[in-house]
Amino acid sequence: MDLEAKALTKKYGNFYALRGLDLKVKGAKCVGYLGPNGAGKTTTLKLFTHLLNPTGGEALINGYSVQKEMKKALMEVGTLIETPDFYPYLTPEELLTMLCRIRGATKCDVKHALEEVGMYEWRNKRVGKFSKGMKQRIALAAALVANPEILILDEPTTGMDPRGMAEIREVIRDLKKSQRLIFMSSHLLSEVTEVCDEVAMLDHGTLLLHEPIDVVLERFRGNVVEVTALNKIDGEAIKGIKGVVSVEQISDTRVRIGFDDGAQTQHAILSALMQQGVDVVEYRSVGMALEKAYLEMIGGDTK
Amino acid sequence: MNDFEQMLIYSRYQFRNYVRAKRLWILLLITGLVIALIVSVNAYFGNPASETAKKTASTFASFAPTLVVLTALFFGGDAIASEYQNKTGYFLLPNPIRRYVILWGKYLASLAAGGLVVLIYYLSGTVYTYYYHSTVPVEYWYSLAYALVFLVSLLSLTYMFSTFFKNGAVALVIVAILYFFVFNIIDGVIQLTGIEPWFSITYAANIITLVFQGSHMGDYPHKTVLHPGNGITVTIYNPYLWEGLAIMLGYLIISAIISTIVFEKKEMK
Amino acid sequence: MYLEAVNLTKRYGKFYALNDLNVKVEGSKCVGYLGPNGAGKTTTLKLFTSLLRPTRGEAIINGHSVQKDKVQALKDVAAVVETPELYPTFTPEEILQMSCALRSVNKCDIKHALEEVGMYEWRNKRVGKFSKGMKQRIALAAALVGNPEILILDEPTSGMDPRGMAEIREVIRNMKKSQRLIFMSSHLLSEVAEVCDEVIMIDRGKFVLHSSMDDVIKRFGGNSVYVTVLEMPDMAKIESIPGVKSVEKVSENRLNIVYEPGEDAQYRILKELIYAGVKVTEYNAAKQMLENAYLKLIGGDRND
């Protein structure tokens, strides 16, 4: 169960959409693929799913070259790229059944796939009139229906409201538990922090980083925390705690604390707060570490 | 799962999509209107009962080439282009299914839907002719067969054009202009040169109606030279029946090869 | 400095896009406006900016009815609905000058507006090559140039990449500091949790909740929290804490603890963890809480 890019390159005229990408992801996990618009994320996913042909290099899935042995390579892959449209006069059930039969998949479960994305009750309606969010759900169901080992998802929660996003995150967590490899691009770093185990970052068609998310979070740890308590927080008392550099009172029950760098200090301050009788319910870094990592590694949108 | 099985499965679902689509019903409506027009105009201004069965059948079949062109447009004009434009391609293409399977699966569905329309049309003609003459001339069945061959060939050509474009509407308009204007103009201009337009598919399609001419099948002049004056020479060619078939077959094969290659190479950018 | 909706209603035929909304937001703060697609968020924003006329009720800004006294009401308001396309050959400075001239405001401070969105150094570059985040910042600057007290923003980070989102968030924080009221709709709860002080939720055109972020965190304590630790503790030890239902190892140093919802549970568990010597560095639930609140109160996309 693996995806591997070997010197994968895609060139349009003189422009490198992807330049010599070497990347291997393996095992039951979620890998977040990050980068600005135009960095080459979607290009990579399309090369892995035979929607584009590489200018150089190879995309391998489970050891099979997508370019040379497409059918074998894609046998265990489910894909969601952009929000696809569907033949408008068919129903979700028909579309997924067709997909199953075409794939010759034995482990197909149309009902289950539709339930997972919350569209079972719509199974007999024609998709022509569905909203974008509903089509996105059907597209995800189409990726899931053949029960593939590997899922390639391109911004799966795009255009969804908070409930949709939460549901899809839940689906991804379930998939991880049932031993699937998920390779997904996203702009939502909080989402990636929550569901993914590894991150790969890309900019200007070049891979910048591929590491376990813990390593990244640790390396880009911030040094400001926000504290929320049940009772009133006395900002002055906090200033005495060792390691505390600054205190900003946001409301009676909420403060921001700047401290000397280090995870030890961050923990020690929390301990000290609790000892002072602050009933802490929430203690979190301000700004996501993943965002810090992103902003340090990567520039803005590429034109 | 082999390619051919995949093709048939895809084709069946695509056909279902076509059967439910508005387009098929619009085309059937047009067909119905034309039939009503032919029947009523002939009943009112002509006297079908007094002419030969062959003449009656021939009158009816004369609209067939246009109907085939319309059918090809409706079911082929944007068939492939729309996969890109409407992003339906994103649903199907990233699956373990070869491109040519999708192309020809869809083609088969178009052919089935289009064939249905042509058959309905010819069936109405059968009833119409039989009503007046209690018989249907054998030429009529040949005409039907030629019309179906024309559909097979023209649809393949339309699919080829459709693979060239990324915008369904553009593909549709260009193919429509080609079929209704460009080919006709070429056929007209070529009459002045004295060259036989063996490269034109609309020239070949003339056999659908030529089959009714003369006392037996194929009894019509292959070449007629006219001198309307002012030193102008007009040469009118009629394709032999076998020649018409050969031209259509040529179109089928060549456009099938080209569209398969183009679609295989085409990227979803 | 306030926005107030009084029985605000917008009906299309028999369909209520907004049904009797009564809400008031006041002071220099950021108010997040949440709800599913089709809930009536954009309708509300359009009613406040007189892009739509209400079927009933009133939108009031600083005491003036938007419907009856549009000029007075909108005097100190600026809105950015979607990222507008800017003339690509213009520079930010030119765009702001134009914006000033069009509004004929006298207190125009282009420099200040550009500084507030962090685009001053780009003032003489053509916007054609700017990224979406930069264009959105220019649009915000154009909104700020008349120095409005109140800003109405419709999904300001929609469609942006992470840098664009971070930039806009930073700009919003800055605007709060300079005494402005920001009323923004968003689908990104983590963003709202981070920059906003209050939230309002609506669903199917109807008001659901208006609460400070602090209260949301307390009231919707939910039932799960993400804990980051220095070293992985004994899972059994955590499971034995009263109230803890399950513990899941998310990664090498992160845990997800699911617990029985109840008064103080979240606080109690953290306390127990610390007493048990677990080296907690983060105890993170703010986003979960907002999400909990949202999921409890509100349905999915509106499809009718």
> What are the tens digits of pLDDT across the range B23-71?
999 999 999 999 999 999 998 998 888 899 999 999 999 999 999 999 9
Listed residue (A248, B184, A51, B231) closest to C176, CA to CA: A248
* Pair of tokens at residue B191: 């009459």
- pLDDT-based confidence at residue B148 (cuts at 50, 70, 90): very high
| pLDDT reported for residue C299 | 63
Q: Which of A34, A37, A164 sits opposite C300 (nearest CB)?
A: A164
* Pair of tokens at residue A56: 């150089």
CA of C78 vs chain A CAs: smallest distance (Å): 25
Residue A301 has pLDDT above 50, yes or no: no
Interface residue A152 vs chain B (CB under 8 A) = yes
Amino acid identity of residue B209, one-letter, is: T
Pairing status of strand A64-65 against strand C56-61? unpaired
Residue A20 shares a structural domain with residue A123: yes
Indicate whether A291 belongs to any domain: no
Amino acid identity of residue B192, one-letter, is: L
Burial letters A247-277, b for 16+ CB under 10 A, else e: beebeebbbebebeeebebbbbbbebbbeee
Which residues of chain C does A264 touch, with a Cβ-Cβ cutoff of 8 Å? 230
How many Cα atoms sit within 13 Å of C82 on the Cβ side?
5
Tell me: the pLDDT tens digits for B66-83? 999 999 999 998 888 888
Q: Do A194 and C226 touch (CB under 8 A)?
A: yes
User: What ranges make up the beta strands (E) of chain C?
Assistant: 2-12, 15-26, 30-34, 56-61, 64-65, 77-81, 150-154, 181-185, 198-203, 206-212, 224-229, 244-251, 254-259, 280-284
Residue A230 shares a structural domain with residue A102: no
Residue A303 has pLDDT above 60, yes or no: no
Indicate whether A293 belongs to any domain: no
Listed residue (C41, C48, C36, C35) closest to C17, CA to CA: C41
Residue A141 shares a structural domain with residue A244: no
Mutate to test the interface with A, among B1, B23, B78, B90 (most CBs of A within 10 A): B90
- Looking at per-residue confidence, does B263 or A36 come out higher? B263
Mutate to test the interface with C, among A117, A160, A283, A298 (most CBs of C within 10 A): A283
- pLDDT-based confidence at residue C304 (cuts at 50, 70, 90): very low
Distance of alpha carbon B195 from the chain centroid = 24
C-alpha dihedral sign at A160, A165, A170, A171:
positive
Residue B19's contacts (CB-CB under 8 Å, 6 or more residues apart) are B113
Asked if residues A153 and A183 have their Cβ atoms less than 8 Å apart, the reply is yes
Tell me: the pLDDT tens digits for B100-112? 999 999 999 999 9
CA distance B109 to B80: 13
Interface residue B232 vs chain A (CB under 8 A) = no
Indicate whether A299 belongs to any domain: no
CATH number for the domain that contains residue A270: 3.30.70.100
Which residues of chain A does B168 touch, with a Cβ-Cβ cutoff of 8 Å? none
Q: For all residues of chain B together, what is the average pLDDT?
A: 91
Backbone angles phi, psi at C268, to 5 degrees: -60, -40
CA of A72 vs chain C CAs: smallest distance (Å): 32
Interface residue A209 vs chain C (CB under 8 A) = no
Q: For all residues of chain A together, what is the average pLDDT?
A: 88
Residue C184's contacts (CB-CB under 8 Å, 6 or more residues apart) are C30, C31, C32, C33, C151, C152, C153, C154, C155, C156, C172, C196
Residue A146 shares a structural domain with residue A32: yes
Interface residue A79 vs chain B (CB under 8 A) = yes
Over residues A282-296, mean pLDDT: 77
Residue C251 has pLDDT above 80, yes or no: no
Residue A171 shares a structural domain with residue A245: no
Residue C233 has pLDDT above 70, yes or no: yes
| Domain assignment of residue B126, given as a range | 3-265
Tell me: the pLDDT tens digits for C27-74? 999 999 998 888 889 899 999 988 889 999 999 999 999 989 988 888
Interface residue C281 vs chain A (CB under 8 A) = yes
What residue of A is the nearest CA neighbor of B85?
Answer: A85
DSSP 3-state assignment of C26? strand
Q: Do A89 and B268 touch (CB under 8 A)?
A: no
Q: Do A214 and C254 touch (CB under 8 A)?
A: yes
CA of A148 vs chain C CAs: smallest distance (Å): 23
Residue A77 shares a structural domain with residue A200: yes
Amino acid identity of residue C110, one-letter, is: I
Q: Is chain B in touch with chain C: ≥3 Cβ pairs within 8 A?
A: no
Q: Is chain C in touch with chain A: ≥3 Cβ pairs within 8 A?
A: yes
DSSP C121: G
Does the structure's ipTM exceed the value 0.90? no
Residue A173 shares a structural domain with residue A250: no
Listed residue (A196, A24, A158) closest to A81, CA to CA: A158
Which residues of chain A does C160 touch, with a Cβ-Cβ cutoff of 8 Å? 187
| Domain assignment of residue A39, given as a range | 2-214
Residue A90 shares a structural domain with residue A195: yes
Over residues C270-288, mean pLDDT: 83
Interface residue A98 vs chain B (CB under 8 A) = yes
Which residues of chain B does A70 touch, with a Cβ-Cβ cutoff of 8 Å? 96, 98
Task: Count interface pairs A-C at CB distance under 8 A.
Answer: 154
- pLDDT-based confidence at residue A93 (cuts at 50, 70, 90): very high
Backbone angles phi, psi at C99, to 5 degrees: -60, -40
Tell me: the pLDDT tens digits for B173-231? 988 998 888 988 888 888 888 889 899 999 999 999 999 998 888 889 888 888 888 88
Interface residue A74 vs chain B (CB under 8 A) = yes
Measured CA angle at C29 (ends C197, C221), to 5 deg:
5
- pLDDT-based confidence at residue B247 (cuts at 50, 70, 90): very high
| pLDDT reported for residue B255 | 96
Number of domains in chain B: 1
| pLDDT reported for residue C87 | 81
Interface residue C177 vs chain A (CB under 8 A) = no
Q: Which of B1, B13, B21 sits opposite A104 (nearest CB)?
A: B1
Residue B132 has pLDDT above 80, yes or no: yes
Residue A288's contacts (CB-CB under 8 Å, 6 or more residues apart) are A189, A190, A193
Residue A300 has pLDDT above 70, yes or no: no
- Looking at per-residue confidence, does A240 or C264 come out higher? A240
Residue A157 shares a structural domain with residue A230: no
Interface residue A93 vs chain B (CB under 8 A) = no
Interface residue C212 vs chain A (CB under 8 A) = yes
| pLDDT reported for residue A148 | 93
Interface residue A281 vs chain C (CB under 8 A) = yes
Listed residue (C194, C178, C181, C177) closest to C152, CA to CA: C181
Q: Do A162 and C283 touch (CB under 8 A)?
A: no
CA of A213 vs chain B CAs: smallest distance (Å): 28
Listed residue (A149, A144, A145) closest to A61, CA to CA: A149
Q: Do C291 and A301 touch (CB under 8 A)?
A: no
What residue of C is the nearest CA neighbor of A192?
Answer: C162
* Pair of tokens at residue C227: 């804990």
CA distance A291 to A294: 5
Q: Which residue do the tokens 């919707």 mark?
A: C220
Over residues C234-249, mean pLDDT: 87
Residue A298 has pLDDT above 80, yes or no: no
Over residues C273-299, mean pLDDT: 77
CA distance C140 to A84: 33
Residue A122 shares a structural domain with residue A262: no
Q: Which residue do the tokens 């050959």 mark?
A: C89
Over residues A199-219, mean pLDDT: 88
Q: Mark which residues 74-93 of A lie under 8 Å from C by CB.
A: none
Over residues A217-234, mean pLDDT: 84
| pLDDT reported for residue A114 | 94
| pLDDT reported for residue A290 | 76
Interface residue B264 vs chain A (CB under 8 A) = no
Amino acid identity of residue A282, one-letter, is: E
Tell me: the pLDDT tens digits for C182-219? 999 998 888 888 889 999 999 989 999 999 887 876 67
Amino acid identity of residue C43, one-letter, is: T
Helix (H) or strand (E) holding C221: none
Tell me: the pLDDT tens digits for A132-184? 888 888 999 999 999 999 999 999 988 788 888 888 888 888 888 889 999 99
Is the pTM higher than 0.80? The answer reads: yes
- pLDDT-based confidence at residue A260 (cuts at 50, 70, 90): confident
Indicate whether A131 belongs to any domain: yes
Which residues of chain C does A279 touch, with a Cβ-Cβ cutoff of 8 Å? 264, 267, 271
Q: Which of A162, A282, A284 sits opposite C189 (nearest CB)?
A: A162
Q: Which residue do the tokens 């946001």 mark?
A: A250
Which residues of chain B does A74 touch, with a Cβ-Cβ cutoff of 8 Å? 94-96
Number of domains in chain A: 2
Q: Which of B1, B9, B268 sits opposite A46 (nearest CB)?
A: B268
Q: Which of B88, B93, B96 sits opposite A87 (nearest CB)?
A: B88
Give me the helices (H) in chain B, please: 3-20, 22-45, 53-61, 64-76, 81-85, 89-92, 99-133, 138-164, 168-177, 183-190, 201-205, 207-210, 241-265
Listed residue (A22, A45, A50, A16) closest to A32, CA to CA: A45
- pLDDT-based confidence at residue C262 (cuts at 50, 70, 90): low
CA distance C200 to A161: 15
Q: In angstroms, what CA-CA distances link B201 with A231, B76, B152, B262, C8?
A: 86, 16, 12, 21, 66
Residue A193 shares a structural domain with residue A260: no
Pairing status of strand C244-251 against strand C15-26? unpaired
Q: Is chain B in touch with chain A: ≥3 Cβ pairs within 8 A?
A: yes
| pLDDT reported for residue B267 | 87
CA distance B70 to B56: 23
Asked if residues B117 and B26 have their Cβ atoms less than 8 Å apart, the reply is no
- pLDDT-based confidence at residue C263 (cuts at 50, 70, 90): low
| pLDDT reported for residue C289 | 65
- pLDDT-based confidence at residue A29 (cuts at 50, 70, 90): very high
CA of B96 vs chain A CAs: smallest distance (Å): 4
DSSP 3-state assignment of B6? helix
